[in-house]
Chain A
């Protein structure tokens, strides 16, 4: 079967790609567009390593088909920093040592950014439940949660 021609927006840039019907958005990002910052940990929507946003909504790229990107705005980890200026969450994750191996980190950052856009002043419990769909096996989550809450406090102070 012929491939689909999809026009979409990724990290603010217009992007066109060809994909098969069964290719997930994760496959498209990684294999077709070579945006490998979005990771595959399970391909079943259980680990959150492939977290992206579509029109601002947090989704697992492995649970979305590439063809569904048509006409929508996709954000991935590659678009999170502004050039060489890191997003406050990225900076805070580094300062707090909120990553060890780093494979889950892009997903956590995207999910945390979506949290703070949705709720700029989350409680610890709200942050923990929002991020419950993102698995990290290295850190025990302690430093991740602290980094997110501290970023939220900073961003509230700055705005």
Chain B
């Protein structure tokens, strides 16, 4: 039964082939770098070789003289816009900072920061022009690590940054942009009740989202001021809004056409190239195509924060957690705005605590400005808290799943960040782990088992959908959210479910900004929930119209018509005796019954159900090499209702594996000058197929009452638990608690050596 109790579901929960699938397995799908316009120029960016430097001057005259060069730009070609807060993807930011990040003004703040750009008739001419630009830098002292940036006397990135959230207001500038505190109850008093207290500091490395498709766009600025942008992003409306703001162009002048997106994970919720391509096109009068190299992706985009996490938790001897305290210091990169806020809010959200306090610091350093990455902020704080909870379980001699069950947040639990949870499925994910065969699988020498859980809010937000019934009874569903991992399939399935027709008869498209109503970007695990809700509402409105047309045809009241299995029927014997009218029948005659049949729904979806997951991993540690091999991996998660179970499993598996990479290998390596030494996939090592076993999933379904079919977001939760689960498994395998990511072979080997030396003493 559907949650609305009307009909059983025919399509939701099945696994049809995705509508964009054939294009993607045949090479026909057009991604960011695959698009071109006639007469286009190639645009390229000159990037800073320094971590921190004042720009004394930029001389572009020689570059402009290079044959084939049609435009050269610097920040002087962009409006110098004021400080203005904005909502960016999943966190707050500032348009002045965003402008400076796309093109440095006055100072460069990290290795890879854009300082100029050119457009030329060939890539070779563009490269020659970049080499001909002379930038006079005054190199300044730099700071890379978050705690170094917080000490007295550290190099200051922004003279106008004074720490917000402290009293009294500071009078000297600082690299700490903001301090925040989330608090419930009386934490210090609550620790008095604890029999056992665990206190520990953990550290994580910044990691890149690692999408395989580099950023790419084509922009055209026409003589009448009309701007067209074709690009891959997590939101065509986001690109439109940011380009308008950064360049001072009216939104109505800009049309953004989304191309297929080759992965984003949060990293494409910003603009980097688009404003530059528009300026270069304006200056040259030609379309401009820009594509980042992989090195530019690493040096100039993403990553997410690294940070330190100090955690203190206390429990009674019978395993009741009575207090939690945490201090989080997250690096934001070169401009304020790390995800430390959500890091704080998610830190203890899995637990039913009366007394809890989380303090967060947002800290700028000479690294690329962080971008959202899958559950931004949560994996970092959760690595600390879920490692500490494991240590607590060991101290108590309690099974770590039982300890979590005993303290789990459930319906009615008030979270430290404010809300009281409604229907949530955390306990169900823990039970699913307990009931899985992996939980009892035998372990050999140097093998260990770890468990950890994770939480993500999930969001709703503004979405629009249009459903058009074609004259043959098929349908087109247009939405404005880039399909990053199969969402078109979900949209088509929800529409088909409501319309009562086969999913193959619904064609879902991702429309450009001038062809569909506003949609907030693809992020926050919101599309299946929020845009899905718009699709369902528009489809229901279409069904009402179809019923009205049948009523008109039969000359009976519309209340006497019901819609079932894709056809209109008289709602009972009193309604009259009529042959059913199918969607095809009604569509074919729509011209005579009132015209085309279509509906649009625009809404602001509320009530995204929070998501919880629990992961169980078995590892084997090679004490000689320090290599950690993943033997088994189980991820359980509450999906509310899996619309297309294969893509729900895929989200869980992909998120878990990103977390494994974060746990074991991924990190940025800087030299003493603050230059990134590993800007490529050879030295920045993301997981490959031979690193991994199959990733087992159990999808539990505790329906979200606010979605027509019970769906809740699933994309972000699965990256939250893996780091702690891996650390807990390594502890179980070799008796060593690792507190710093990545737990790469050199670090594991060093810890084993220290353990051996200590044993010999």
Q: Which residues of A contact B (CB under 8 A)?
A: 20, 30, 35-44, 46-47, 49, 76-78, 80-81, 86, 90, 93-97, 99-106, 109, 124-125, 127-129, 131-146
Check: B737 CB closer than 8 A to any chain A CB: no
Given A47-B212, A101-B263, A135-B686: A37 and B654 within 8 A (CB)? Answer: no
In the complex, are the beta carbons of A101 and B213 less than 8 A apart?
yes
Closest 10 CB pairs of A and B: A37-B27, A103-B262, A102-B24, A140-B657, A97-B646, A140-B653, A77-B27, A100-B485, A46-B681, A36-B34
How many residue pairs, one in A and one in B, have C-beta atoms under 8 Å apart? 183
Check: B171 CB closer than 8 A to any chain A CB: no
Q: Which residue of A lies closest to B263 (CB)?
A: A101
In the complex, are the beta carbons of B212 and A41 less than 8 A apart?
yes
Q: Which residue of A lies closest to B31 (CB)?
A: A103
Given A40-B33, A135-B681, A141-B689: A96 and B654 within 8 A (CB)? Answer: no
Q: Which of A81, A93, A104, A127 contacts B212 (CB 8 A)?
A: A104
Tell me the minimal C-beta distance from B684 to chain A in angstroms: 9
Q: Which residues of B contact A (CB under 8 A)?
A: 15, 17-18, 20-22, 24-31, 33-34, 124, 209-214, 260-265, 291, 293-294, 484-486, 644, 646-647, 649-651, 653-658, 680-682, 686-692, 694-695
In the complex, are the beta carbons of B26 and A41 less than 8 A apart?
no
Q: Which residue of A lies closest to B658 (CB)?
A: A137
Chain A binding surface, main DSSP class: loop
In the complex, are the beta carbons of B484 and A95 less than 8 A apart?
no
In the complex, are the beta carbons of A86 and B681 less than 8 A apart?
no
Given A102-B260, A138-B263: A127 and B26 within 8 A (CB)? Answer: no
Chain A residues lying within 8 Å of B291, measured Cβ to Cβ, are 40
**Distance between Cα atoms of A43 and B681 in the complex (Å):** 10
Q: Which of B21, B213, B689 contacts A99 (CB 8 A)?
A: B21
Tell me the minimal C-beta distance from A96 to chain B in angstroms: 7
10 A–B contact pairs at CB < 8 A?
A39-B33, A43-B294, A93-B21, A101-B213, A101-B260, A109-B25, A135-B681, A139-B654, A140-B653, A145-B689
In the complex, are the beta carbons of A43 and B262 less than 8 A apart?
no
Tell me the minimal C-beta distance from B302 to chain A in angstroms: 12
Chain B residues lying within 8 Å of A135, measured Cβ to Cβ, are 212, 681, 686, 688
Q: Which of B17, B20, B209, B650 contacts A143 (CB 8 A)?
A: B650
Given A128-B689, A132-B688: A44 and B294 within 8 A (CB)? Answer: yes
Chain A residues lying within 8 Å of B691, measured Cβ to Cβ, are 132
In the complex, are the beta carbons of A94 and B213 less than 8 A apart?
no
In the complex, are the beta carbons of B27 and A142 less than 8 A apart?
no
**Distance between Cα atoms of A43 and B33 in the complex (Å):** 13
Q: Which residue of A lies closest to B657 (CB)?
A: A140
In the complex, are the beta carbons of B650 and A138 less than 8 A apart?
yes
Q: 19 new A-B pairs (CB below 8 Å) besides A49-B212, A128-B692, A141-B688?
A: A39-B31, A40-B33, A40-B291, A43-B293, A43-B294, A46-B681, A86-B22, A101-B260, A102-B20, A124-B694, A129-B690, A132-B689, A132-B690, A135-B688, A138-B263, A140-B654, A140-B655, A142-B692, A143-B653
In the complex, are the beta carbons of B24 and A97 less than 8 A apart?
no
Q: Which residue of B lies closest to A81 (CB)?
A: B26
Tell me the minimal C-beta distance from B726 to chain A in angstroms: 14
In the complex, are the beta carbons of A97 and B650 less than 8 A apart?
yes
Given A93-B25, A103-B213, A104-B212: A141 and B692 within 8 A (CB)? Answer: yes
Q: Which residue of B lies closest to A44 (CB)?
A: B680
Q: Which of A41, A102, A105, A142 contacts B694 (CB 8 A)?
A: A142
